[in-house]
Structure 1
Amino acid sequence: MQVKGKGKKKLYDDINITPMLDLAYVLLVIFIIMTTASVQGIKVNVPKASSSVSLAKPTTKAITVDSDGQVYLDTFPVTIDQLESQLRSFKAVTPDFPVVIKGDRVSQFGRITEVLDACSRVGISQLGIVTERVKPS
């Protein structure tokens, strides 16, 4: 654009970068939200099975037993007593919620049995074990 004034023509060389910065910030926020949403629980090597059933629901609680025998409830480390107490409080709010157990391939079977016993004492009827699907040869 040109501006007339005193017989001289002056060009505007200023560029408004505010909309470009707004777009950059929106893209940054979307990137941060998408990368944190993809993080799900504790990483364990689950055993393989030929078929699996999905119990994925919004109210599903995930119990993870890692290779060291540490028990996690939705990524938070807990003891067996704390696990049972928290499962009881969840059951009081939502009586019929599913629980999935993810045990590391080399985790102690006794520890997984303790988790199963705690679920049984609470009265959880929907229980699943996470496995990795075997690809057919």
Structure 2
Amino acid sequence: MGRTAPLMSTRVSSEINLTPMMDLTFILLITFIITFPMIEQGVPINLPQGSASPVSSDANRSVISLDGAGNLYFNDRATSFDGLLEQITQLAQVDLTTTVYVRADKDVRYGEVVRVMRALHDQKLTRISLVTKGD
């Protein structure tokens, strides 16, 4: 009884085993499914009060104020939002390095402040400071 050696193939297999890659894909998918609702929900936090530094008295500045009643002021003069847009456009044509201070009453809706800041940004006025009450 003679033993014969099994025939071994000398061909190299060019197939890629996809099982580990599929396992990793499913693990990542499950991880995202579990963590995504946590990201959307967020954590309720109580924001700290900030300290305010004194406002410089340079001549190259403008002040936009929003009071609790919804009135809008540009350099202490009452104006409408359309009037503010015109004044911002004129300001941008004169000097883009002007610092614009935005003062808003704590009862003003956040969206109104963002609307003013968006108008400033659209005119390329990027030196914007939010004025807050000190400690």
- TM-score bracket, shorter-length normalisation: 0.5 to 0.7
Alignment of 1:85 onto 2:80: no
Q: Deviations for 1:5-62, whole angstroms, at most 9, x for unmatched residues?
A: xxxxxxxxxxxxxxxxxxxxxxxxxxxxxxxxxxxxxxxxxxx522436354212100
RMSD over aligned CA atoms reads 1.7
> CA-to-partner distance for each residue in 1:52-99, whole Å, 9 max, x for gaps?
363542121000000011110011112222212111111211221110
Which structure shows the bigger proportion of residues in strand conformation?
A: 1
Highest Rg: 1 or 2? 2
SS at match of 2:73: strand
| Cα 1:75–1:54 shift into 2, 3 Å | closer
Unpaired runs of 5+ in structure 1? 1-47
* Cα distance in 2 for residues equivalent to 1:70 and 1:61: 17
Aligned to 1:34: none
Alignment pair present for 1:73 and 2:78: no
Corresponding position of 1:120: 121
Q: How many aligned residue pairs are there?
A: 87
Q: Name segments (4+ residues, structure 1) moved above 6 Å.
A: none
CA distance in 2 between counterparts of 1:133 and 1:75 reads 21
Instruction: State TM-score, norm by structure 2.
Output: 0.58
User: 8 Å contact 1:63–1:102 — kept in the other structure?
Assistant: yes
- Is the 1:65–1:71 contact (alpha carbons within 8 Å) kept by the matching residues of 2? yes
